[in-house]
């Protein structure tokens, strides 16, 4: 797979990718078998509805799913990944999603599970765009504008993780509180672009009904035949950046 010269590749945004960067990424697989429709391939706990609504998400031509918790006091409310993928020992696993705050709540969390440390949570304040309690090796919240955020969490696995359904996006009641109280009516959060992958988080890989792999990308430019002459100097410049510490 090639990334064309002087054509920006990035997730869709309101400013139509006005960044001066070309995004070149390694081969990665989104093992979440459905990245935007949470009615299938996800284990729903304590939820009245996760149907897609009419609010435009940061992903072009894709509406947010509306997360409505049940009318239960202090309930565990979450969307758990269902996948057959088992991650190797001593590797990392990352879960990310694009989210927007709803009228019902303020906090959302990413939860991962490992054989040695059990459940690990990172809490995100969607009103203020900040991270609360954080039990992961790396976590981030990126302001995408218009009230939208990209949230990520990465956990180091010390053993093969066989309880993969416990990787989840949790509707939290407060910082460091994984339980919430819904009313079965109010939308607590808007959710899309969920991605579970080995290693550090990379850009969005849409999936529909199965795991999806993005091939390794190569940036190259075919010089015109006019340059195919001896004794010519070609100067090239560029910049390499990592979007996170790795």
Instruction: Tell me the mean pLDDT in the region 36-58.
Output: 92
Residue 243 is predicted with a pLDDT of 47
State pLDDT tens for residues 117-154: 788 999 999 999 999 999 998 999 999 999 999 999 99
pLDDT at 232 over 80: no
Average pLDDT on 203-222 reads 82
Residue recorded with tokens 């850009």: 203
User: What is the pLDDT averaged over residues 85-112?
Assistant: 87
pLDDT at 21 over 70: no
DSSP 20-40: S-------EEE-SSBSS-TTS
Q: Given this model, what pLDDT does residue 4 score?
A: 40
Please report the pLDDT score of residue 192 as a whole number. 96
- pTM, whole model, 2 decimals? 0.81
Torsion of CA 28, 34, 37, 43, to 10 degrees: -120
More confident residue, 153 or 232: 153
């Amino acid at each position: 797979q090639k990334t064309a010269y002087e054509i920006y590749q990035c997730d869709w945004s309101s400013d139509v990718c006005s960044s001066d960067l070309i995004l070149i990424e390694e081969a990665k697989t989104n093992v979440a078998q459905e990245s935007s429709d949470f009615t299938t391939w996800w284990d729903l706990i304590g939820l009245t509805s996760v149907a897609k609504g009419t609010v435009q998400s940061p992903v072009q031509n894709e509406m947010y799913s509306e997360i409505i918790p049940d009318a239960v006091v202090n309930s565990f409310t979450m969307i758990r990944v269902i996948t057959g993928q088992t991650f190797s020992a001593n590797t990392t696993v990352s879960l990310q999603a694009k989210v927007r705050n709803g009228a019902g709540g303020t906090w959302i969390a990413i939860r991962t599970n490992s054989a040695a440390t059990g459940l690990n949570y990172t809490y995100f304040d969607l009103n203020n765009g900040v991270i609360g309690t954080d039990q992961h090796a790396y976590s981030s919240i990126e302001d995408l504008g218009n009230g939208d955020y990209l949230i990520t969490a990465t956990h180091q696995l010390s053993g093969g993780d066989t309880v993969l359904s416990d990787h989840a996006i949790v509707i939290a009641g407060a910082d460091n509180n994984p339980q919430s109280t819904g009313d079965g009516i109010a939308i607590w959060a808007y959710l899309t672009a969920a991605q579970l992958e080995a290693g550090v988080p990379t850009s969005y890989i849409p999936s529909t009904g199965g795991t999806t792999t993005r091939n390794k990308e190569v940036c190259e430019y075919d010089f015109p035949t006019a340059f195919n002459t001896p004794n010519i100097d070609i100067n090239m410049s560029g910049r390499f950046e990592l979007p996170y510490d790795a």
